[in-house]
Amino acid sequence: MALSSRLWRLLRLRHGAAQSVCPLARAWGSRGHCGARGFLGSEVIGNTRPFKRGLLFSALSYLGFETYQVISQAAVVHATAKVEEILEQADYLYESGETEKLYQLLTQYKESEDAELLWRLARASRDIAQLSRTSEEEKKALVYEALEYAKKALEKNESSFAAHKWYAICISDVGDYEGIKVKIANAYIIKEHFEKAIELNPKDATSIHLMGIWCYTFAEMPWYQRRIAKVLFANPPSSTYEEALKYFHRAEQVDPNFYSKNLLLLGKTYLKLNNKKLAAFWLVKAKGYPAHTEEDKQIQTEAAQLLTGL
């Protein structure tokens, strides 16, 4: 209705402009066809047929432009609504632990330009790779596939903390197939993207936890790997258990009991620092954490074994 009324106003406006010529021309003492000869000195304007044809073409052009705008806006709204619907489905499946269904859903949109959809696809690909029933060959293919999706997500939106986080995770996974030199070199990139994810979203406990894992990994690096790192790099990546502990505690402060592995690593880090009392405190919490996933069950088992050793 808005489009029709706008077009009608346009037609009336142009028609009114054409009629206003007549009185003005008569005032100049012109003759015939509203005095067009006398006013404009041209007989062409006196013929209303070309004028009407031009008016019709103008009206159609206006109608076409207005229609294009309406359709374009509707298409954008529809596309946005569809992406939001897919993301809602994806998040529901993820929370429900439906790993394979989630992967099947998201792979239908692997050519998407939406960063939020792409990093979720990277996560889903990695989760499929982590399943015990996934063969080693399939796992490797999925790990590299996940990295490509994460990379694309980051290219589409560098302001997405989740894209930075999952890009770092996927680079770390690929390092397992690239050798020690590449793995150590990638450590700098991984740290950079975890730090960026935390900067963009300081309330994301997972990013903080992962930064803690990065510190813990380099704190406990075996001596022979340290030697290789020193040979390959002038300033190899390094960290301490104290630094790892700081990140694990920070993650817990942001979101208490959000992840069984954070509880386990708090216990293990305190063990490394020879603080058995606090180690036991966190290991007990890890052991008692409700097991929703296979990983939770594995963590319960490991926590119980460590407590027995204490």
Residue with tokens 């029709």: 4
Residues 149-197: tens digit of each pLDDT: 999 999 999 999 999 999 999 999 999 999 888 888 899 999 999 999 9
Q: Which tokens go with 78?
A: 């529809």
Write the burial class of residue 214 (CB in 10 Å: 0-12 exposed, 13-18 middle, 19+ buried). buried
d(CA 248, CA 231): 31
Residue 32 above 70 pLDDT?
no
Query: What is the reported pLDDT for 62?
Result: 54
Q: Which tokens go with 222?
A: 């075996």
Residue 120 above 90 pLDDT?
yes
Q: Identify the residue with better confidence: 230 or 121.
A: 121
This prediction has a pTM of 0.71
Residues 46-103: tens digit of each pLDDT: 455 554 555 445 544 555 555 444 444 444 444 566 889 999 999 999 988 899 999 9
Residues 251-263: tens digit of each pLDDT: 999 999 999 999 9
Choose the most confident range, by mean pLDDT, from 70-79, 108-117, 289-298.
Answer: 108-117
Residue with tokens 């009114």: 16
Q: Are 264 and 287 in contact (CB under 8 A)?
A: no
Give the whole-number percent of the chain exceeding pLDDT 70: 74
